[in-house]
């Protein structure tokens, strides 16, 4: 446990961390870089300017140097002997117990582990046994909770058979508009580099305002900024471009690169191994304190998932056709929060995320996710749900929400009132859900399958009897009136079964360019055109799977980002979804096939590792695009000029140059390592050499 500082406390630190540094260099001119000063006495505490940032420092005296008060950043100083009274901001209200200290050490070990979790269950365990242990199993055979009981026996046939001629959605003047970003046109996205496309798809505002500050509270040494965060992230993406390196510490090995052993490259010149491990140990995904009156096992990831959803809700407009399905985030410890087993998935063990995506031009973008909490969903001290949904109880029309209909309404929230379509598989074939979506201005359609029983209000046996003897491709709809809402079960005769789709919209019009073939008993072939409702479903049903396939193949980020800390695995899910979305957005914008995943990832990792992103999110030498009318004005705002003599960096907050003793001091160019005194008139904060100024002006002309 760290000893708290106070007036009179004694400690030590590296000599190079003390300021003013001139006195240190004068006292130890040849060894101040490596020397550690001991016996340093703390005399106070305050905020000082260190490395161009206001940082909390200890004020102290060094025994070897008389008459000078030094200051050193708190995180760089080790207190070895406590004072009688510690500083107020370091006083603990209660002493930590041995149990909490042990938990902290155990948590740190999990954060720093370079290995993945080891499976603590046998895949051959029976599904019934897993369920007895309280683990949810989604084997695609169990009905939805609303359909778990047999429907009441009908006294006769229900509904009437019709061929719809008017689609309620078209009647409401809903258009088939493609998805788009609110702040970027597809033309601008096509001109972006891979890092800009990733930042567009990643909740960067959350990273800047939550992840980075929360991490810095636990980080030793200098505070991490947005630029270093992307370097840290870039290391993981770069490692995930190669297979066969089981220990990530090999990327910082002191051994020379060997083509048959170890990592193919070294990352020492980009970030030290100690700094990388320090960030890995300190990283946090929430700045909210855990609840006091109940246990929320999802607390550390809840804010991150909400930030992802809010980012897409605020910045992305989904397409007219969307797919709601499930995604798996693999994890092998069955005692993690929300653990599920989904045998039909390629990665069957871990956390299930309900996901929704659109897929214009065959390039899907996943724009909303929700982790399946299951038995771990928290309740407060009163026994009620700690985080209740807006869609529970009854809606304003008196219609009762069910478990599945609540989920459907939550996942489609950004679509409410838009008249857009959501297509779902048989896991969502719940009549109440389709009707609730209709009440909210969303047109849902779900494939119907018999899972022990037919879904409520779907007389499957009656439908099958009606279609006996009907020709291949014959389509009709069973229409029922549900409290004033036309409820359709669209049906299409296939060779061995009848395809059924529940919906409140749609027509049976054949799609001429969507022909399918079936083999007859005599060996011949016959064909028919899919109807419109089935064409929409078949085109969209794999969009969520396409995002997940790109996440996992050929090298999954989680496959290389080894961790035993469960929240970090959820962060890798967010990062890999953002990467997949960026690849597909690039393909949409360029109207071309998607870039191979590893090609995109290597380019992205390179830009992350060498990024020049400031804390305000802007990038060095990346001018904003102007309107055509402002071209001449824009160019006239640029020019390479020199700093006034006797001045250093420009302080953008205080709006003046910092004074220095050396009249013509040169500073490194912000883009390269050349030392100069020049900058461009458009930005006084960016030191720029003549060569980088030329590149800068080329970009200005290209964006005008």
Nearest CA-CA partner of 317 in 371, 365, 355: 365
pLDDT of residue 75: 87
pLDDT of residue 100: 53
Is the backbone peptide bond immediately before 554 cis, with ω within 30 degrees of 0? Answer: yes
| Distance of alpha carbon 232 from the chain centroid | 16
pLDDT tens-digit map of 561-613? 988 899 999 999 999 999 999 999 999 999 999 999 999 999 999 999 999 99
pLDDT of residue 319: 96
Considering only residues 656 and 45, tell me which one the structure prediction assigns the higher pLDDT.
Answer: 45
3-state secondary structure 96-125: CCHHHHHHHHHHHHHHHCCCCCCCCCCCCC
498 has pLDDT over 50: yes
Handedness of CA 245, 251, 252, 258 (dihedral sign): positive
pLDDT of residue 95: 43
pLDDT tens-digit map of 430-457? 999 999 999 999 999 999 998 888 998 8
What percent of the chain stands above pLDDT 90?
Answer: 55
pLDDT of residue 630: 43
pLDDT tens-digit map of 282-307? 999 999 999 998 999 999 999 999 99
pLDDT of residue 631: 45
Q: Which of 111-125, 264-278, 397-411 has the lowest mean pLDDT?
A: 111-125
What is the C-alpha to C-alpha distance for residues 331 and 184, in angstroms, rounded to an integer? 36
**What is the mean predicted confidence (pLDDT) over 366-394?**
92
Residue pair 475/508 in contact by the 8 Å Cβ criterion? yes
Which residues are CB-contacts of 416 (< 8 A; sequence separation ≥ 6)? 440, 441, 442
**What is the mean predicted confidence (pLDDT) over 544-549?**
94
What is the C-alpha to C-alpha distance for residues 453 and 445, in angstroms, rounded to an integer? 19
Using a 10 angstrom Cβ sphere, with 0-12 exposed, 13-18 middle and 19 or more buried, the burial of residue 438 is buried
pLDDT tens-digit map of 92-146? 544 444 445 555 666 767 776 666 666 665 555 555 566 655 666 666 666 777 7
Q: Which of 87-91, 125-129, 582-586, 667-671 has the lowest mean pLDDT?
A: 125-129
Highest mean pLDDT range out of 155-159, 168-172, 519-523, 669-673? 168-172
First-residue to last-residue Cα distance in the chain:
57
Nearest CA-CA partner of 61 in 124, 18, 109, 113: 18
Distances (CA, A) of 639 to 331, 620, 642, 690: 55, 16, 10, 10
- Average of per-residue pLDDT values in the chain: 87
pLDDT of residue 305: 97
pLDDT of residue 344: 77
64 has pLDDT over 80: yes
Which residue's structure tokens are 């959820």?
570
């Amino acid at each position: 446990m760290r000893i708290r500082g106070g007036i009179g406390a004694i400690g030590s630190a590296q000599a190079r961390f003390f300021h003013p540094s001139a006195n240190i260099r004068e006292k130890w001119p040849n060894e101040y870089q490596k020397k550690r000063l001991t016996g340093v006495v703390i005399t106070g505490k305050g905020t000082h300017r260190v490395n161009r940032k206001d940082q909390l420092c200890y004020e102290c005296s060094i025994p070897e140097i008389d008459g000078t008060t030094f200051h050193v950043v708190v995180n760089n100083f080790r207190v070895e002997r406590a004072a009688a009274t510690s500083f107020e901001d370091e006083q603990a209200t209660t002493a930590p117990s041995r149990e909490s200290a042990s938990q902290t050490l155990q948590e740190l070990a999990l954060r720093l582990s370079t290995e993945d979790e080891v499976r603590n269950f046998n895949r051959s365990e029976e599904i019934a046994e897993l369920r007895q242990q309280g683990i949810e199993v989604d084997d695609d055979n169990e009905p939805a909770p609303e359909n778990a009981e047999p429907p009441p026996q009908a006294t006769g046939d229900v509904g009437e058979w019709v061929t719809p001629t008017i689609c309620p959605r078209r009647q409401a003047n809903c258009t088939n508009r493609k998805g788009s970003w609110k702040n970027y046109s597809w033309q601008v996205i096509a001109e972006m580099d891979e890092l800009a496309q990733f930042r567009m798809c990643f909740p960067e505002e959350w990273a800047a305002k939550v992840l980075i500050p929360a991490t810095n509270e636990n980080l030793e040494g200098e505070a991490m900024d947005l630029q270093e965060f992307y370097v840290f992230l870039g290391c993981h993406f770069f490692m995930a471009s190669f297979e066969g390196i089981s220990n990530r510490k090999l990327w910082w090995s002191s051994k020379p690169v060997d083509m048959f052993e170890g990592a193919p490259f070294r990352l020492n010149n980009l970030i030290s191994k100690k700094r990388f491990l320090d960030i890995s140990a300190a990283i946090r995904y929430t700045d909210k304190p855990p609840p006091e009156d109940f246990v929320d096992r999802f607390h550390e990831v809840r804010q991150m998932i909400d930030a992802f959803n809010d980012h897409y809700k605020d910045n992305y407009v989904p397409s007219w056709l969307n797919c709601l399905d499930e995604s798996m985030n693999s994890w092998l410890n069955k005692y993690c929060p929300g653990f599920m087993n989904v045998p039909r998935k390629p990665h069957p063990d871990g956390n299930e995320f309900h996901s929704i995506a659109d897929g214009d031009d065959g390039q899907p973008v996943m724009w909303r996710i929700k982790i399946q909490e299951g038995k771990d969903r928290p309740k407060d001290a009163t026994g009620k749900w700690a985080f209740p949904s807006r869609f529970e109880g009854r809606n304003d029309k008196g219609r009762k929400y069910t478990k599945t209909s609540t989920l459907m309404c939550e996942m489609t929230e950004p679509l409410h009132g838009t008249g857009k379509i959501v297509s779902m598989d048989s896991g969502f074939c719940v009549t109440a859900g389709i009707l609730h979506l209709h009440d909210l201005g969303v047109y849902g359609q779900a494939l119907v399958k018999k899972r022990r029983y037919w879904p409520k209000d779907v007389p499957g046996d009656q439908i099958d009897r009606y279609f006996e003897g009907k020709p291949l491709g014959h389509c009709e709809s069973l229409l029922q009136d549900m409290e004033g809402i036309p409820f359709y079960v669209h049906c299409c005769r296939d060779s061995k079964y009848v395809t059924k789709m529940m919906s409140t919209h749609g027509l049976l019009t054949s799609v001429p360019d969507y022909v399918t073939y079936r083999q007859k008993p005599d060996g011949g072939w016959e064909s028919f055109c899919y109807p419109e409702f089935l064409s929409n479903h078949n085109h969209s049903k794999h969009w969520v799977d396409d995002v997940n396939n790109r996440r996992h193949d050929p090298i999954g980020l989680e496959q290389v980002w080894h961790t035993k800390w469960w929240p970090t695995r959820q962060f890798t899910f967010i990062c890999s979804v953002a990467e997949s979305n960026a690849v597909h957005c690039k393909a949409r914008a360029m109207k071309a096939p998607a870039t191979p995943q590893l090609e995109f990832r290597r380019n992205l990792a390179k830009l992350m590792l060498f990024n020049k992103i400031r804390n305000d999110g802007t990038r060095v030498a990346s001018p904003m695009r102007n309107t055509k009318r402002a071209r001449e004005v824009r160019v006239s705002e640029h020019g390479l000029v020199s700093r006034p003599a006797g001045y250093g960096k420009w302080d953008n907050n205080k709006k003046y140059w910092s004074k220095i003793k050396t009249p013509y001091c040169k500073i490194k160019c912000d883009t390269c390592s050349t030392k100069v005194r020049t900058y461009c008139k458009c930005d006084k904060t960016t030191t720029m050499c003549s060569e980088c100024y030329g590149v800068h002006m080329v970009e200005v002309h290209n964006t005008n």
